[in-house]
Structure 1
Amino acid sequence: MSAIHFNTSNQTFRQLMGNGLSFRVPRFQRDYSWTQDEWDDLWQDIQGTLQGGEPAHYMGYLVLQTRDNKVFDVIDGQQRMTTLSLMVLAVLRAIQDLVDSNVEADNNRRRIEQLRSSYIGFLDPVTLVPQNKLTLNRNNDGYYKDYLVPLQKLPQRRLRASEHALRKSFEWFYKQVRDTYGKERSGASLAKFIDEVSDRLFFTVITVTDELNAFKVFETLNARGVRLSPTDLLKNYLFSVVHRDSTHTGEIETLERRWEAMVGRLGGESFPDFLRVHWNSRRKFVREADLFKTIRAETPTKARVFELIRDMEEDIDTYVALSNPEDALWSDDQRSYVRELRMFSVRQPWPALIAARRAFDLQGFTAFLKTCSVIAFRYNVIGSLATNEQERVYNSVALRIASKDILSPADAIRSLAPIYVPDQSFRQAFAEKVLPTTSSRNRHVARYILFSLERYLTGQEYDIDSPQYTLEHVLQENPDGNWPEFTDEQALESVYRLGNLTIMEAGQNRDLGNAGFDSKQQAYRQSPLEITKKIALENTEWNVERLAARQRWMANQATSIWKISQLG
């Protein structure tokens, strides 16, 4: 962080707005979107601070960007700053009501003038054209400047949704202010409210010098658990390039429509993550920390921005579908492999999969997808190997597919050999694998492994999520005196080994309770599942050695089940 040029300070709302500076929401940042839930939360926090005697209320981080230390772009915090401005305007409206009713008219006019100059800006007394401290984005500033700031009658028709939100926010705060502080018909009481609030609300203000530094601040705050999104910053950069190079507004409108369609298509998925996966499916590998810098360097013109948008539109359906095995994009065979990758929580293959889907036919892509699933099982689930090398290999293959250096699915599969765990290493890792089933993810993986073994032995298909079957620990998770074969230390080490796990019909499992192996053996012998029946038929007792022998047998079967013949 030492190379990043930024300043950090704690500032009250009075210090922020009363210093003669101006703040500007970047032209292409998102519109105002707060609703009554957020307004009410803010109001309750303010009332709790004022009535409860708390010295201050923390408003969070405010990220600003400036080149001259006079005008500051609001990179993060525009929703909060806009809402506070609307609250101040609501107070001005309430004081103006007193003026209109000839209640201390002269004094209240002076109060309005003082509050406006401190928190809102200068209003020309002849033209009523404001010079505002806060400028909103291109979709909201007109309504804010022409109607809200001058306290004009607010139009309610032919407005954008965000303009309706601005109006409703102003009207909501006006009602709260009037009901809470306007009963005394005192301008002094209303002005005192703003005076106290402005000193008790404070921000941590981070000021940076350019977009790249702002992006790095986002990354640092996110790493520390402060969830900010750099999407708006990236959007503003791309749109500013098009705005600078465009000769007509239609290009901006087209870009905005396509951008918003992609954001809507992603739903709950992270836009920056999609962008990184997309980028790495076509170009040299870029880590998240360098993504914004790289995009900024490689999209300096309008033509390159629209090329980026077209490429993103081509890839977004595959990206979204990789998170949803039930997506209509997938065939039945593909759906099972996507489901496995999701179950394994493995995303490293995504750039290569997106590149492969662009380049290969249905059969070829399915073969490549299956390979990625098998590698994920060997490398990630069983091997628990570091993902750095894996990510590098997948990106290398993606880049070679995108550049047409790899033309066939078979060549793409062979290129994944460096991350295909060899049989001997996989067999050894499987034979020693411990899978704590205290997490739902591990329980799901354990059922998947056991049902896969059953299918390999019998050819019978099972629904691994069926409540008809439950996961059974031969040695229970909390064994009692029925297991003298295991010391306490051995029991702790053995209970979550794969060799200690099997599948039982739900009713049988409940009936067994905490029974010892002799009782369990009788139930296992009657099981319709071959992997469970084998425990009873091949073991007269259950101890560390028999458990390990069973797991070695499972490892041998697994080496044949999760195998890609082209890779070994």
Structure 2
Amino acid sequence: MTDDIDKRVKPDNYDIGKLFSSAFGVFEIPQFQRPFSWKEDNFDKLFEDIYASFENSKEEYFLGPLLLQKEGSKAYSIIDGQQRLMSLAILLAVIKDHTKSDELRKSISRSLYEEGDKHKDLPSAPRIEIWEDLKVREIDKYIFTPSESKNTINFLETVKNGVIKYSGKRDPVYSIYKAIEVFTDKYRTYLRDGKDDEFVTYLYQKVYFVGIVTYNLPYAIKLFNVLNTRGMPLTPGDILKAVNLAEIDEKDREKYAKIWRDIENGIGRENVEKVIEFMRTLLLKTKAKKGIIDEFEQNIFGNLLKRGEEFFKFFKEIADIYRATIIEPESLSTTPQYKNLVSLMRDYIPFDGWISPLIAHYRKFELNKIDRFLTLLEKKTVIEWVVGYTPSRRIASLNEIIRNIENSDSANQVIKKLNEYLSRKLPREMGRFQSYDRSELALFKIAVNESDFYSEKYSKYLLLRLDLNIVDQESFGGYGGVITIEHILPQNPPPNSEWCRKFSKEDRETLTNAIGNLVLLGRRKNSSARNFSFEDKKNKYFFKGGMTPFHITLEIKKYQEWTPKLLRERQNRLINTLLQLYFGVSDNNEGQT
């Protein structure tokens, strides 16, 4: 075992002078790595920490671990440490462009650019082969170049003049811009008047990483997740991307790396991880039993999906469907009802289990009956959520829909099966509400009638669903911004207030947090307004500045007072609407869906 580890790992101390020299060669940043993303505070802290050590003691300064992977004669791949190493390169480039010392300028140039030697068959190359998207934009020439022109100074000017553009603060060009700006300011504050020479000598000789070189990529990634303390750990998506890129011919790797980058830039890193989960669910149709990497390695690759190109094609297919049907449904040629409902589910159902069945339906039937399918899927999802199905039971139930889709010949057949499921009346034991009649309908009634409905995780969703049921679907623009639930009868009214005169202690205990006493507001809560009289609460809080965007709040405007009788009437009305929406019945009429 020890011999095996020795073959994969070679730890040592590496000072900056050695890392940025011919003794070490050149580095490359793997395609699976995140883009350059450090911010102003990171650059500031890096310089201040190194400079403080330089000023106070000139003892060695430890930068943390540097994890490298090397295959044969290829460049070293930076698995961990690319943000710090790149930042140090930019710092050196800034010093090179501002120093008055020709000798120092030449020394840094050799550090940032590896001079080739045709007699040794060594090509000229930048010290760090940076991210592909930055190379395409020729950003590397401002940092890693043998030229003695003022490249970082030119970079700042071209950004300020709009010649070089960045799309936002997440764009790596913005991070490079801020790094150059911060380090330029630090140079002018601390290093001018010849101090730069001494500082760079300290940087080269006393500032170091503990470097670990491994020759096995999967092991390097595992080691990274153990050692990584300064940055974010690699996600399952990062690892699967690396594993599958390694399976593709080198000439085609950039093509598939770009597919991944484009999707990641389009939907965001968090959604990429969701897509990986959807892929797993669609292929296995089971609750996850292991970590997602183990699931892919042991249960998917080789059996259900090939590594490499097939993985990337499936990833792109699912990501594109997810984006079109859920993230950006506005562009779909379907009904406003679908677009409004899927947006509500996306934003206010706190779990994603319902998404995989929707993706499965679109994969097989595209837009055929998708609006009707979503309506039934939402009913099933919400009913099982509200009556208290465990997450495992919900997942199993939703995975059964995927199987039904795969085994059905038409969208109508899927709709029929879902209708049959929703119409059944079977005894259930998993509900958390006790009832002599344990059907979902009975459990649902108890849940929405709860005196502490306000505290339930589904309270905001159901209130918004009630509101969505009233709006003009064609012109509705969606629910955005801050949305809060507010009480009409306050939670803690003053003892001598009108509230305590109209509502007995028993009424307040049972009705305050009930659904009939709750409204939606499009602003943050105002604690000072909570105990206003009903009239003041309406005019100065609920409807301050004009009309509320919520129809279920707007109906309160017609009342001149708020009493237990009116609250109970509204309670019954809202509950009956929910029963109609989810079961096709009213409180006194248990019809079928």
Which category describes the TM-score, using the shorter chain as reference length? Answer: 0.5 to 0.7
Question: What are the residue-to-residue correspondences of 1:228-377 with 2, within 5 Å?
Answer: 228-243=234-249, 249=251, 251-267=252-268, 269-285=270-286, 287=288, 290-296=291-297, 298-299=300-301, 304-324=307-327, 327-329=330-332, 330-342=334-346, 343-360=348-365, 362-377=367-382
Say whether the 8 Å CA contact 1:414–1:567 is kept in structure 2: no
Unaligned runs of 5+ in 1: 102-108, 521-526
Indicate how the Cα distance of structure 1 residues 84 and 499 shifts in structure 2: closer, same or farther if over 3 A, else same: same
Measured in 2, the distance between the counterparts of 1:322 and 1:203 equals 47
Deviation at 1:49, TM superposition (A): 3.8
AA matched with 2:396 = R
**Superposition deviation, residue 471 in structure 1:** 6.5
* 1:1-400 correspondence to structure 2 within 5 Å: 24-25=27-28, 27-30=30-33, 33=36, 37=40, 40-41=43-44, 45-46=48-49, 49-50=52-53, 73-88=77-92, 97-99=101-103, 112=107, 129=122, 136=129, 139=132, 151-152=146-147, 179=188, 180-184=190-194, 187-195=197-205, 198=207, 210-211=217-218, 214=221, 218=225, 226=232, 228-243=234-249, 249=251, 251-267=252-268, 269-285=270-286, 287=288, 290-296=291-297, 298-299=300-301, 304-324=307-327, 327-329=330-332, 330-342=334-346, 343-360=348-365, 362-380=367-385, 382-383=386-387, 385-400=389-404
Within 1, Cα distance between the matches of 2:513 and 2:357? Answer: 34
In the alignment, structure 2 segments of 5+ residues that lack a partner are 156-163, 423-427, 432-438, 539-550, 586-590
Instruction: Tell me the amino acid that sits aligned with residue 487 of structure 2.
Output: H
* DSSP 3-state at the match of 1:327: helix
Change (3 A) 1:185 1:462: closer
- Residue 445 (structure 1) aligned to one of 461, 472, 477: 461
Q: Deviations over 1:50-84 (max 9, x none)?
A: 5896999996776656899x997433432322222
Pair 1:529–1:366, CA change in 2 (3 A): same
Q: Which residue matches 1:562?
A: 582
* Structure 1: distance between partners of 2:296 and 2:502: 62
Choose from 512, 515, 525 the match for 1:498: 515
Q: Deviations over 1:348-374 (max 9, x none)?
A: 111111001122364522222112222
CA distance in 2, matches of 1:552, 1:488: 21
SS in structure 2 opposite 1:74? strand
Measured at CA, do residues 293 and 89 of structure 1 come closer, stay the same or move farther in structure 2, by a change above 3 Å?
farther
In structure 2, the partner of 1:104 is none
Change (3 A) 1:8 1:340: farther
Deviation of 1:385 after TM superposition, in Å, equals 4.0
Q: How far 1:312 moved relative to its partner?
A: 2.9
Return the alpha-carbon distance in structure 2 between the equivalents of residues 192 and 500 of structure 1. 69
Counterpart residue identity of residue 475, structure 1? L
8 A contact 2:12–2:211 mirrored in 1: yes
Percent identity of paired positions between Structure 1 and Structure 2: 15
1:170-217, CA deviations, whole angstroms, 9 ceiling, x for partnerless residues?
Answer: 977985686442412773354135556x16xx7898989652773696
- TM-score of the two chains, using structure 1 as the length reference: 0.65
1:61 touches 1:206 (CA, 8 Å); kept in 2? no
Partner SS, residue 78 of structure 2: strand
Task: Tell me: CA distance 1:71–1:413, structure 2 relative to 1, closer, same or farther (3 Å).
Answer: same
CA RMSD, 1 decimal: 6.3
CA contact (8 A) 1:90 1:173 kept: no
Deviations 1:63-121 (A, max 9, x none): 656899x99743343232222244346657878944389xxxxxxx9xx59x989x999
- Corresponding pairs, count: 521
Shift of residue 320, structure 1, vs aligned partner:
1.7
Match of 1:106 in 2: none
How far the C-alpha of 1:562 sits from its partner, in A, is: 1.6
C-alpha contact (below 8 Å) 2:493/2:531 kept by paired residues: no
Distance 2:575 2:532 in 1: 28
Alignment CA distance shift 1:445-1:52 (3 Å): farther
Query: SS of the residue aligned with 1:281?
Result: helix
TM-score (norm 2): 0.63
**Structure 1 residues 28, 466: closer, same or farther in 2, change over 3 A?**
closer
